[in-house]
């Protein structure tokens, strides 16, 4: 009881500090970093959504870019069609990714293990090549947004507002994730990760439970994509490419598979390292690769697992 209350205080403190960050950056004259921080939050959201599928649902999906990038493209397409309101475009971005995930998941979940990895990758690459071959989607150049979505009564044109929206979305998703993990559904997922055959024999509709997990993760990734399109002013084909799926997976592994803050920590560390190292060396990815190796070898539960062990 006491420990969880202390944990709540820490979480509330971090959230408060994060909410105040734009003021500090503005005071320091580093307004540029508000955009970078927003990017961090959005990738944290995307990595968390993948962690839900990989770490909670026990499915190593290698096609998350399809949903992340898909959300971005839906917002860009809608804007091209004159639909500017976020109240319409963002839910539609979620809906589109959910529908796509239902189809992809239903087919992919007939397989397990390596085959599941390969088939989710294949579907994602199919979507990538379909989009870049579309003239109306801008091909290799991506689809720029004429403006940011409007989120009346808020003013999304302000970088600070977009930052807070991303922060609020991430916070809500993390709270939802905690509730979900403790719900009967979350307990069923925990059982699934350990012994799928047993769960089936106890009468759980195993494939359906996994599909729901896959679809929830995809929907959140779609929302993250919608946010990122607004942050970057562009739906880029890079977001759909398999390296993006790989990067999100690296974030999850770095941060901690199945750890609530795994996705967040992974995104912070990976993008933070890229940004910091990018200024001093060309070998950014070598350093990140070594960091990943170290985590896999010495901290199997990732950075979040290390933090938890120290506290306990």
Partner 1 sequence: MSALLEIAGLKRHFGGLWAINGVDLRIERGTIHALIGPNGAGKTTLIHLISGAQRPTAGRIVFAGADIAHRNMHERVALGITRSYQITQIFPHLPVLENVCLAVLSRRRDWGSSFRMCRPASADFRMTAEAEEWLGRVGLAESAGQLAADLAHGQQRALELAMALATRPRLLLLDEPMAGMGPEESAHMAALIAALKGTQTVLLVEHDMDIVFRLADRISVLVAGRVIVSDAPGVVRNHPDVRRAYLGDDSQ
Q: Footprint of partner 1 on this chain (CB under 8 A)? A: 179-180, 182-188, 190-191, 194-195, 197-206, 208-209, 212
Distance between first and last Cα of the chain: 14
Nearest to 239 by CA among 229, 230, 253: 229
- CB of residue 89 vs partner 1: minimum separation in angstroms? 26
- Fill in the DSSP letter of residue 56: I
Q: Under the phi-then-psi rule, with left for phi > 0, alpha for psi from -120 to 50, and beta for the rest, what region is 264?
A: alpha
The minimum distance between CB 302 and partner 1, in angstroms, equals: 18
The candidate with the shortest Cα–Cα distance to 165, out of 271, 279, 19, is 19
When the beta carbons of 57 and 138 are compared against partner 1, the nearer one is 57
Q: How far apart are CA 24 and CA 28, in angstroms?
A: 6
Nearer Cβ to partner 1 (66/189): 189
Backbone angles phi, psi at 235, to 5 degrees: -100, 110
Query: For residues 89 and 213, which CB has a smaller minimum distance to partner 1 in the complex?
Result: 213
CB of 119 to partner 1, least distance (A): 22
User: Minimum distance from CB of 197 to partner 1 (Å)?
Assistant: 6
CB of 167 to partner 1, least distance (A): 23
Q: How far is the CB of 76 from partner 1 (least distance, A)?
A: 31
User: Measured from the CB atom, is 33 or 204 closer to partner 1?
Assistant: 204
Residue number, 6 or 187, with CB nearest to partner 1? 187
CB of 181 to partner 1, least distance (A): 9
Cα dihedral value 69, 74, 75, 77, nearest 10: 120
Place of tokens 């105040």: 20
Q: Which long-range contacts link 275-278 to residues 24+ away (Cβ below 8 Å)?
A: 275/36
Neighbouring residues of 120: CB distance < 8 A, sequence distance ≥ 6:
61, 62, 63, 104, 108
Min. distance of Cβ 191 from partner 1 in angstroms? 5
Beta-carbon contacts of residue 101 (< 8 Å; ≥ 6 apart): 67, 214, 215, 217, 218, 219
Residue 75 or 206 having the CB closest to partner 1: 206
Q: What is the widest separation between alpha-carbon atoms in the chain?
A: 61
Helix (H, G, I), strand (E, B) or coil at 203: coil
């Amino acid at each position: 009881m006491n420990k969880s209350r202390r944990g709540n205080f820490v979480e509330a403190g971090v959230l408060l500090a994060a909410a105040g960050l734009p003021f500090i950056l503005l005071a320091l004259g580093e307004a540029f970093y508000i955009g970078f921080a927003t990017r961090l939050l959005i990738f944290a959201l995307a990595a968390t959504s993948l962690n839900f599928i990989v770490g909670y649902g026990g499915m190593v999906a290698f096609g998350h870019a399809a949903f992340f990038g898909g959300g971005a493209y839906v917002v860009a397409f809608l804007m091209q069609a004159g639909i500017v309101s976020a109240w319409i475009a963002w839910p539609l971005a979620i809906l589109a990714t959910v529908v796509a995930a239902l189809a992809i998941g239903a087919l992919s979940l007939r397989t397990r293990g390596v085959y599941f990895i390969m088939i989710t990758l294949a579907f994602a690459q199919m979507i990538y090549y379909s989009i870049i071959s579309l003239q109306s989607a801008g091909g290799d150049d991506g689809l720029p947004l004429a403006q940011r979505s409007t989120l009346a009564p808020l003013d999304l044109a302000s970088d600070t507002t977009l930052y807070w929206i991303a922060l609020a979305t991430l916070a809500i998703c993390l709270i939802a994730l905690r509730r979900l993990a403790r719900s009967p559904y979350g307990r069923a997922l925990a059982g699934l990760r350990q012994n799928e055959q047993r769960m089936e024999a106890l009468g759980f509709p195993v494939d359906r439970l996994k599909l729901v997990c896959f679809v929830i993760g995809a929907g959140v990734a779609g929302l993250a994509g919608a946010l990122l399109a607004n942050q970057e002013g562009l739906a880029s084909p890079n977001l759909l490419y398999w390296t993006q799926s790989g990067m999100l997976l690296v974030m999850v592994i770095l941060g901690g598979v199945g750890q609530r803050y795994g996705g967040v920590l992974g995104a912070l560390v990976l993008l933070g390292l890229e940004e910091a190292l990018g200024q001093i060396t060309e070998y950014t990815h070598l350093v990140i690769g070594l960091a990943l190796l170290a985590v896999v070898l010495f901290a199997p539960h990732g950075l979040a697992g290390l933090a938890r062990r120290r506290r306990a």
